[in-house]
Amino acid sequence: MVCRPEDSAILDRLSTPQKSCRVGRIRQKTSACRVSAWVHQKCARAPFPCRLTVLPQFAAAWNEKFAVDPRHDADAHRPWADTPDALDHTLARRDERTLSKALTFRVDGTIYCIKTKGAGIALRGVKIELRHHLDGTMTVHYKDRILPVTACRTYSVPEPAEDEKTIDLRIDHIVAARHIAAPAPLEVGRG
């Protein structure tokens, strides 16, 4: 059963006796949708075992709606043949940075410096690859080498800009608070 917001609006427009059967079906459908939404909302707040009882019903409904038979019955998944370290490198988030003349780069409010054994002139202005691993560590790669780095300096990072939806919500809360806090105007009676 698909719940649509326009179903409740249809109830207001259809009031003639000829359409009462259709209205009855829509009312039945919207009430079933409300009950279903209520059950899902209660189970979402419930502890974990309750969610497990709803999960098979949800999975069955989801598969009934969206499941598609595969073109070929053969399993398309490939087993991971490398080491766990190789898997960690594969799953790492990758960023690219350009080294400055002083062999530094910035990441999340920290300036890092590349350690070199010589002057390091060959590394000036090169593109390096940063790999952010799942355990929170970061490695710096250039060609086939892992470069040693040290954190030189930290600086404050500005907070991200807020979108229009968040700003509108904050303004609505401020207006509502002012509306509740404002006393009602006194009426002067005749007398």
DSSP state letters, 128-153: EEEEE-TTS-EEEEETTEEEPEEEEE
Q: In the beta sheet, which residues pair with residue 145?
A: 142
Quick one: pLDDT at residue 42? Answer: 53
Query: Strand locations in the chain, DSSP E?
Result: 93-98, 104-107, 110-114, 127-132, 138-142, 145-147, 149-154
Residue 37 has pLDDT above 60, yes or no: no
Residue 7 has pLDDT above 50, yes or no: no
pTM, full prediction = 0.45
DSSP state of 188: P
Quick one: pLDDT at residue 105? Answer: 92
DSSP state of 123: G
Quick one: pLDDT at residue 149? Answer: 93
For residue 45, name the pLDDT band (cuts at 50, 70, 90): low
Residue 168 has pLDDT above 80, yes or no: yes
Residues 6+ apart with CB under 8 A from 106: 97, 112
Quick one: pLDDT at residue 44? Answer: 54
CA separation for the pair 140, 116 (Å, rounded) = 13
Residue 34 has pLDDT above 80, yes or no: no
Greater model confidence, 31 or 147: 147
Q: In the beta sheet, which residues pair with residue 142?
A: 145
In b/e form, how buried is each residue of 117-147, taking b as 16+ CB within 10 angstroms?
eeeeeebeeeebebbeeeeeebebeeeeeeb
pLDDT in tens, 99-156: 999 999 999 889 999 988 877 778 889 999 999 998 889 999 999 889 999 998 888 8
How many CA atoms lie within 13 Å of 100's alpha carbon, on the beta-carbon side?
7
